Amino acid sequence: MTMKMILATSVASFCMAGAALAEPQAEVLHWWTSGGEARAVAVLQEEFASRGGSWTDMPVAGGGGDAAMTALRARVLAGNAPTAVQLKGPAIQEWYEEGVLADISAVAQEQGWADILPASIAGHMQCEGTWCAAPVNVHRVDWVWANKAILDEHGIAMPTTWDEFNAAAEKLQAAGITPLAHGGQAWQDATVFETVVLGVGGPEFFRSALIDLDMDALQSDTMKAVFDQMRTMRGYVDANFSGRDWNLATAMVMNGEAAFQIMGDWAKGEFLAAGKVPGEDFLCASTPGDGYLYNVDSFAMFDVEGEDAVAGQNLLAELIVGQNFQKVFNLNKGSIPVRSDVALDEFDSCAVLSANDMAATSEAGSLLPSYAHGMALRGAQAGAITDVVTAHFNSDMSSEDAVAMLADAVANSM
């Protein structure tokens, strides 16, 4: 063996020993600060510590994450990025384009992520072919929640079409019951709107209108029909809906003050926390139509220096997508595992329905990212659509005018 080969072997051995001795360190920026969310992220901290890791928690209050993003930008500009940051959808790609994300492909390949994640969701976690983020869960957005006692009393089944929904609402309204619990906040208006787009137009129309931003779709008669349905639904909410938080709308259904709510499966957490049982106290079903709208929480990994930090990043990525964390975290959070091989025997019936539908729609090509929850579009385009939706919902604007305004708003946001 030559001296050069001996030196190379020695250096490689030293580096391997150093990596083995590295103590995984992770500074994690997130906005999971409410009760259930805090319990859920504590699961990850505990698992990280059990593997010899040292976790520095960086929670930033504010459910939408705006404050967290402000804090993140300050850290990145100072050259001191956190190890991992709660990010989702196009925001991951935006940070990648700034050249500050790490490549965790080695972990993803070792753990076989490509084989256990739905292809549509895996695409959000990849940056030009490399893996740059780890998915935590899947929240389904297109849910209808209902008070079972009210529906039983009035002989109403869970609606499977918008015409059935409207007929049920008319019957309930005639009986003096508020058909639809809703909070008059822009993101809640957008949530209802995108479920109507999916239900009225179907998955391909949804993709054309709210992902591809195709002008023909945005200006179509189908989009006019969507706004017609939104106008009809505006008549089913109570007079005090303006500014109401989503969880207070959920409480209206829970307490028998309203029959239905259209909201993501975080609403289920409110029912469960109150001791309500799916199928007995409340009902869950997808909103009318085919397809599945998802909102996926994930952690993007930022470029960091030092073996301990890199080791922490790799361990964190491994644990986040690991079977144990996927099960325990999602039982706490109310969402479902993102990986397809987690046993669901401890999950409630709504979660099992969601997981089965996710698998079926992934196979059919109708597993779609939510625009209202930051998965499908960048901020300017999503904001332009939401502005039109909420302006229409809170006025007597015609569907024709709404369609024209929508096309103009999207065009000006590009």
- Residue-wise pLDDT tens for the chain (414 aa)? 443 444 344 433 434 344 456 799 999 999 887 777 788 788 899 999 999 999 999 998 765 677 888 889 999 999 999 999 999 999 999 999 999 999 999 999 999 999 999 999 999 999 999 999 999 999 999 999 999 999 999 999 999 999 999 999 999 999 999 999 999 999 999 999 999 999 999 999 999 999 999 999 999 999 999 999 999 999 999 999 999 999 999 999 999 999 999 999 989 988 988 999 999 999 999 999 999 999 999 999 999 999 999 999 999 999 999 999 999 889 888 899 999 899 999 999 999 999 999 999 999 999 999 999 999 998 899 999 999 999 999 999 999 999 999 999 999 998
Q: Are 192 and 230 in contact (CB under 8 A)?
A: yes
Euclidean distance between CA atoms 162 and 400, whole angstroms: 20
Q: Does domain 140-294+354-413 have CATH number 3.90.420.10?
A: no
Residues of the chain with CATH 3.40.190.10: 24-139+295-349, 140-294+354-413
Tokens coding 144? 């209808």
Global pTM value? 0.89
CATH class of 24-139+295-349: alpha beta
* Torsion sign, CA atoms 241, 244, 249, 251: negative
> Between vectors from CA 352 to CA 349 and to CA 353, what angle results, nearest 5°?
85
Residue 6: the pLDDT is: 41
> Between vectors from CA 265 to CA 319 and to CA 211, what angle results, nearest 5°?
85
